[in-house]
Structures are given as structure tokens and as C-alpha cells.
């Protein structure tokens, strides 16, 4: 097998004109590739209202990690590290390690935490991949999880005057809503443009849900939910509950501005990401290890990168991160089959799609965070689970995932479907 892979690699170099050289290189199969052998997510449900509202993050993690252990057809003693992408939970280190043990992994399975705001899930994937590349571990799980119901986002803490009086660092005191309005004002992204984008997100998510596209992404979990009468019931959480059927640009146009204190006041509850609970997990190892263990390969992690920008317009981070990752992988925009760009706000999403000249049909074909939510630490991993599923549905190969990151950053990754 290794000899065949080396031969195909050589032939691709000898015949670069058959397809984009970057694309051909990315699609090659090599023993040292970092591959994904299991990928799944919970449903995403509305914070304070949905099925996961009373599920603490450790219970959410235990439920998902147990499913990974049971369904991945892998001896759990081979899992050496679980990296949790999470933003808001207190005592993350305690919670990550304890959840891994409670989910049935042996005492030898370690745990770590990655936190880079909205990119934490992708950062967790990168951390596990980098450990495997470096030879530190052979098998690891990356998880992104957030319970925004039980761990609310309180914004920036009290910071030093050296920060608050600094022209760049001081911008980190601006709430996320203000940064959305900054993007809209600076780049001329109108309320109508934002509502049109948001309507398309809802409509795509509605179609995806009705036609069952996400069924191979989502693993249902049984959770306890407290009703308005105080009674606790067991409920099966099995679908994203934020998708509002029948949403149109016109219906969104009737929603009042969320931030009238900041001009142009074009951001609303209808064209911004929903506050949501959820978790996603990806199992990673080298191709050679997967073949040795008889693991089914779903896809591979190619690369990821990060870049910084002015915090006040943090939303446009993908417009910098995507060109950077394409350059590093020698890919062209047209080589990419699916772009999963986190819809933190329609303002930034509209800007990024237009700035990069992306085909709108390739961007978030199942809808995005505006339609079904953005659990901060979960999103970076959730996007990968979604992208691999969508590539399978379309019988396509290459996806780029990207998101803006609070405090002024953008992250992007490249993934390949092999199933």
C-alpha cells in the first residue's frame, strides 16, 4: 500500500497539468497523512430554551465521548489524548480530564484544553494533529463543546490601563455586536444585504433538515430537561432546533436593530448567530495507523493556520485566514468544493464572501450559525463534521473551514473527504 501511494505521488508530480498541482498534492494519499476515522456532533439547541439547556458541559462531553468510544470501533486504551476546545466553562482542566474518565476511557488517556475563542474547536483538531505529526502521540480525539445555557458569556474582564489605553489592545473591550456594526459601516454592508444572506442561511438549513442531509452528522443523546412546572423529564435531543422554517428576507426585515447605540445599527437577532449549546468530536491518527487498525477513513486534516487583525473589525478574519491557508497548501479558490465559514454575523459573512470572490453556492450549503447556532468552543469542530458530511453528499473532495475570532483573529483549515 505504501509503495502504491509513493508511486501515485511521483506520478502526480510528473503530470501536474492533469489537475491543479495544489489540488493534486492535497488529494494524494501518504502513510503520514493525519486522517479522521470518526466524526460526529450533538444537535445544536437554543441556549436557555432547547433540549440541552439543563445539560452541564461535563455531561454533554461524557455523552459525546461515550458515543465516540462505543461507535468508533477502536480500543479506547489506544486514545492517548483528548483535547477540548472550550471558551466559557470554569475549571476547564478539571472538567476535561474528569469527563474523559467518566466516559469510559482508561486512566492512561490524558486530556487538555484549547481556548482561542470561536476557533477553539479547530484549534483542538490542530493540537491533536500536531502532536501526532511530532510523534508525541499516535491517536487522539479533538472535541469542541460549549454550554452557553450554563456558562454565559460575560465579555471582557477588567483589564489593565496599559490595555484599555492602548490603541489596539483597548479595542478588545468592544462587545462583539459593536464589531459587527464596525464592519457594516466601514465596508458598506447594508441591512438589506445582511438580511438577504441570513434568509438564505435559514432556507438552506430548512432544506437540509427536511431532506435529512445532517443525519450522518448528528448523534442523538438522551438528556434531562426541566419544564416550566419544575418537573424533570428525559428527552431525546436529535435535531437542531434553531432553524426557523419559512424565513424570508422580508420577514427578517421586520426585526428591530439589536444595537441601536452603534451605527449603522444593521445587526439584528435575525441576521446574527444564535446563542447555542452543543458539542462535536473528531478522531485522528496517521493513515498508516488507521490502516494497521482497520479503521474506516472518512477524510484527512491537511493544514490549519491563524492570523491577526484589528480587534474592532474582527469579523473579517476569514478574509485574511482563507487566502493564507490556500497559499500554504498551494490551492486556488476554485480548487475548493465547500467553504464552511462561521456566520458570527451576516455583516462579516457578506464581506468575506464578496472580498474573496467565493461562489455563494459553495459557501455553507447547509446553512450556518445564523440558522442553527454558534456554541463558541464547538463551532470549529462542528464545521469539520458538517463539511465532511456535505462533501460525501455531493461526492466532492476538498473543504475549507474558517471563522472570525474575538479579539481580532481569523483561523482556517483544509480538509479532504475520502469516503
pLDDT, one tens digit per residue, over 97-135 is 999 999 999 999 999 999 999 999 999 999 999 999 999
Contact 118, 342 (CB under 8 A): yes
φ, ψ (nearest 5 deg) of residue 80: -95, -25
Q: What is the pLDDT of residue 3?
A: 57
- For residue 419, the model assigns a pLDDT of 80
Stretches where the chain sits below pLDDT 50 are 11-12, 14-18
Active site residues: 118, 374, 404
Q: Are the C-beta atoms of 237 and 43 separated by less than 8 Å? A: yes
Q: What are the tens digits of pLDDT across the range 372-414? A: 999 999 999 999 999 999 999 999 999 999 999 999 999 999 9
pLDDT of residue 20: 81
- What is the spatial distance between Cα 320 and Cα 355, in angstroms, rounded to a whole number? 10
Determine the Cα–Cα distance for residues 270 and 224; give it in Å rounded to an integer. 29
pTM for this prediction: 0.95
Which residue in the block uniquely carries the three cell numbers 459587527? 180
Amino acid at each position: 500500500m505504501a509503495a502504491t501511494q509513493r508511486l501515485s505521488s511521483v506520478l502526480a508530480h510528473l503530470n501536474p497539468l492533469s489537475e491543479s498541482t495544489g489540488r493534486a498534492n492535497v488529494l494524494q494519499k501518504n502513510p503520514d497523512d493525519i486522517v479522521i476515522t470518526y466524526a460526529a456532533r450533538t444537535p445544536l439547541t437554543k441556549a436557555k430554551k432547547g433540549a440541552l439547556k439543563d445539560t452541564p458541559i461535563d455531561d454533554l462531553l461524557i455523552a459525546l465521548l461515550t458515543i465516540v468510544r462505543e461507535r468508533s470501533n477502536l480500543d479506547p486504551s489506544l486514545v492517548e489524548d483528548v483535547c477540548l476546545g472550550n471558551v466559557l466553562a470554569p475549571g476547564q482542566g478539571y472538567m476535561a480530564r474528569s469527563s474523559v474518565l467518566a466516559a469510559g476511557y482508561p486512566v492512561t488517556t490524558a486530556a487538555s484544553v484549547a481556548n482561542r475563542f470561536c476557533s477553539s474547536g479547530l484549534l483542538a483538531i490542530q493540537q491533536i494533529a500536531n502532536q501526532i505529526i511530532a510523534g508525541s502521540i499516535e491517536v487522539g480525539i479533538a472535541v469542541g463543546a460549549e454550554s452557553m445555557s450554563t456558562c454565559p458569556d460575560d465579555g471582557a474582564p477588567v483589564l489593565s490601563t496599559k490595555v484599555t489605553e492602548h490603541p489596539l489592545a483597548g479595542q478588545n473591550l468592544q462587545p462583539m455586536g459593536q464589531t459587527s456594526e464596525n464592519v457594516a459601516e466601514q465596508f458598506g454592508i447594508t441591512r438589506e444585504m445582511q438580511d438577504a444572506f441570513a434568509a438564505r442561511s435559514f432556507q438552506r438549513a430548512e432544506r437540509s433538515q427536511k431532506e435529512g442531509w445532517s443525519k450522518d452528522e448528528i448523534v442523538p443523546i438522551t438528556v434531562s430537561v426541566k419544564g416550566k412546572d419544575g418537573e424533570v423529564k428525559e428527552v431525546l435531543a436529535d435535531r437542531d432546533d434553531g432553524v426557523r422554517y419559512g424565513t424570508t428576507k422580508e420577514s427578517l426585515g421586520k426585526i428591530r436593530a439589536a444595537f441601536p447605540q452603534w451605527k449603522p445599527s444593521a445587526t439584528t437577532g435575525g441576521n446574527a448567530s444564535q446563542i447555542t449549546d452543543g458539542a462535536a468530536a473528531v478522531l485522528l491518527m496517521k493513515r498508516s495507523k488507521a490502516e494497521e487498525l482497520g479503521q474506516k477513513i472518512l477524510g484527512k486534516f491537511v493544514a490549519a493556520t491563524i492570523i491577526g487583525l484589528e480587534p474592532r473589525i474582527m469579523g473579517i478574519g476569514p478574509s485574511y485566514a482563507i487566502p493564507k491557508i490556500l497559499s500554504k497548501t498551494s490551492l486556488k479558490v476554485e480548487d475548493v468544493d465547500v467553504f464552511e465559514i462561521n456566520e458570527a454575523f451576516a455583516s462579516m459573512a457578506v464581506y468575506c464572501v464578496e472580498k474573496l470572490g467565493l461562489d455563494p453556492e459553495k459557501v455553507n450549503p447547509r446553512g450556518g450559525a445564523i440558522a442553527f447556532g454558534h456554541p463558541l468552543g464547538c463551532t470549529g469542530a462542528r464545521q469539520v463534521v458538517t463539511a465532511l458530511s456535505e462533501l460525501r453528499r455531493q461526492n466532492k473532495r476538498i473543504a475549507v473551514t474558517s471563522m472570525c475570532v474575538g479579539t481580532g483573529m481569523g483561523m482556517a483549515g483544509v480538509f479532504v473527504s475520502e469516503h
